[in-house]
Each structure stands twice: as C-alpha cells, then as structure tokens.
Amino acid sequence: MEFCETCPKPQLVELVQGFVKTLGFFVSLEEPTAPMVQEVEQAGFYTTPLGNRKIPRLQIRTVGELLAGEEFLLPITAYLHGVAQAERVQAEAGQGALEME
C-alpha cells in the first residue's frame, strides 16, 4: 500500500475500521512517513473498559523497533483473556524427496 499526501481518504484508518473496529497494528520495514503518522494521530484512541486507559487506535512499529523489544500497546484484557493466535505447524523432520517420473 502506498501513501500519498494528496490522497482523499485515510488509508490505514479505513483498514482498521473495515476489519477490526478497535485497534490496528501495522508493521513496516521503514520509518513511517509523515502522512502515516498523521493518520495515526487522526485515528484517535480506544478507551479500555477496564481502567479507562487510552490506547492509540492505530499503531505503527518498524521491524527494527520490534526486534529491539518495543511492543504494541494492548488493553489489559488482551493479557487476561488472551489473544487469538495462529495454530502452530510442526515441520517434518528431514528434507522431502522430489517425485520424478
């Protein structure tokens, strides 16, 4: 997805509102551009029902930030109730053979 300063609608915010409605997390290889930062600011905050904590509705982290240990801000209920995770797939031992005719 490309970002431009003349785009008529916010793009990241649209994605969050279209799919999740609560929080959106975006991982980037590079630092966010000025329009991306502006969208994050325009997205506003999610206020948690437990503790009235304000969390940015849209958050951007670079791969470097994540590898350095910086995390996304999550509501405490996500830690208490857990977050849905993908099923772990067990790799088969050894390399498979190619079938050749």
Residue pair 63/28 in contact (Cβ under 8 Å)? The answer is yes
Query: The pTM is what?
Result: 0.61
Please list the pLDDT of the chain residue by residue as tens digits (101 residues): 455 555 544 566 666 666 656 788 888 899 998 988 988 888 889 888 877 889 998 899 999 999 999 999 888 776 666 556 657 767 666 666 777 76
Residue pair 58/40 in contact (Cβ under 8 Å)? The answer is yes
Question: Cβ of 13: how many Cβ atoms within 10 Å?
Answer: 17
